[in-house]
Amino acid sequence: MVTLVDFLFILGLYFAAIGLAFFFSWVGAWVFRKLSARLQARRGPPLVQPVADIIKLFGKERFIPCLANKFLYILSPLVALSAILILSFMIPPGIPYWPGPLSWDLIVVLYFSVMFSLAFVIAGWASGSPWGKIGASREVAIILSVELPLAIAILIPPLALARGGYGFTLSITDVILAQEGNFLWTVLPNWFIFHYPFAALALFLALLTKSWMRPFGDIPEAEQEIFAGPLTEYGGPLLGIFELARLFRFYVFTALFVDLYLGGGSGLIFPISILVFLLKCLSITIIMTIIHVASARYRISHVFKWFLTVCLAFALISLIRIVVGF
Partner 1 sequence: MTKKKETKKKTIPMQIDDVVAPEYVVPLGPFHPALLEGEYFKLKVEGEKVLDVDLKLGYNYRGIMKLAEDRSYWQNLYLFERVCGICSAAHTTAYTRTVEMLGEIELPDRARYIRTLMAELERIHSHLLWAGVGMELIGFKTLFMLIWRDREHVLDVLESISGNRQHYAMNTIGGVRRDIDKDMIPKIEEKLKVLYKATVTATKAVLEDGGIHARTVGIGTLDKEIAKKICVVGPVARSVGMKIDVRKDDPYDAYDEVPFDVITAEDGDIFSMALVRLGELVESVKISQYCLDKLKTTSGPIRAEVTEFPPGEAVGRVEAPRGELLYYLVSNGTNTPERARVRTPSYLNDYALLFMLRGQDLADVPITVASVDPCMACTDRLTTITDQTTRTQSTNTLREVSKRFRMK
Strand partners, 189: 182
Q: Mark the segment that binds partner 1 (CB under 8 A) among 16-24, 99-107, 270-278, 287-295.
A: 287-295
The nearer residue to partner 1, 84 or 226, going by C-beta atoms, is 226
Alpha-carbon gap, residue 202 to 149, rounded angstroms: 6
> Is residue 103 involved in binding partner 1 (CB under 8 A)?
no
Q: Mark the segment that binds partner 1 (CB under 8 A) among 27-35, 77-85, 126-134, 280-288.
A: 126-134
Q: Which residues of 45-54 are buried (b: 16+ CB within 10 A; e: fewer)?
A: eeeeebbeeb
Q: Mark the segment that binds partner 1 (CB under 8 A) among 11-19, 119-127, 210-218, 317-325.
A: 210-218
Instruction: Kindly state the smallest distance separating residue 35's Cβ from partner 1, in Å.
Output: 12
> Is residue 293 involved in binding partner 1 (CB under 8 A)?
yes
> Is residue 227 involved in binding partner 1 (CB under 8 A)?
yes
Contact in structure between 216 and 303 (CB atoms under 8 Å): yes
Residue type, position 226, single letter: I
Instruction: Kindly state the smallest distance separating residue 232's Cβ from partner 1, in Å.
Output: 11
Total chain residues near partner 1 (CB under 8 A) = 29
Instruction: Kindly state the smallest distance separating residue 173's Cβ from partner 1, in Å.
Output: 39
Instruction: Kindly state the smallest distance separating residue 217's Cβ from partner 1, in Å.
Output: 10
> Is residue 143 involved in binding partner 1 (CB under 8 A)?
no
Q: Mark the segment that binds partner 1 (CB under 8 A) among 47-55, 60-68, 200-208, 222-230.
A: 222-230
Instruction: Kindly state the smallest distance separating residue 135's Cβ from partner 1, in Å.
Output: 11
Q: Mark the segment that binds partner 1 (CB under 8 A) among 54-62, 197-205, 214-222, 262-270.
A: 214-222
Alpha-carbon gap, residue 18 to 25, rounded angstroms: 10
Burial class (CB in 10 A: 0-12, 13-18, 19+), 4: exposed
What 8-state DSSP symbol labels residue 176? Answer: H
Q: What is the CA radius of gyration of the chain?
A: 20
> Is residue 214 involved in binding partner 1 (CB under 8 A)?
yes
> Is residue 39 involved in binding partner 1 (CB under 8 A)?
yes
The mark string for 299-318 relative to partner 1 (x by CB under 8 A, - otherwise) is: xxxx----------------
What 8-state DSSP symbol labels residue 264? Answer: T
> Is residue 225 involved in binding partner 1 (CB under 8 A)?
yes
> Is residue 68 involved in binding partner 1 (CB under 8 A)?
no
The nearer residue to partner 1, 163 or 297, going by C-beta atoms, is 297
Alpha-carbon gap, residue 153 to 170, rounded angstroms: 13
Cβ-Cβ contacts under 8 Å for 38 (sequence gap 6 or more): 44
> Is residue 43 involved in binding partner 1 (CB under 8 A)?
no
Contact in structure between 23 and 31 (CB atoms under 8 Å): no
Cβ-Cβ contacts under 8 Å for 71 (sequence gap 6 or more): none
The crossing angle, in degrees rounded to 10, of helices 130-163 and 105-126 is 170
> Is residue 18 involved in binding partner 1 (CB under 8 A)?
no
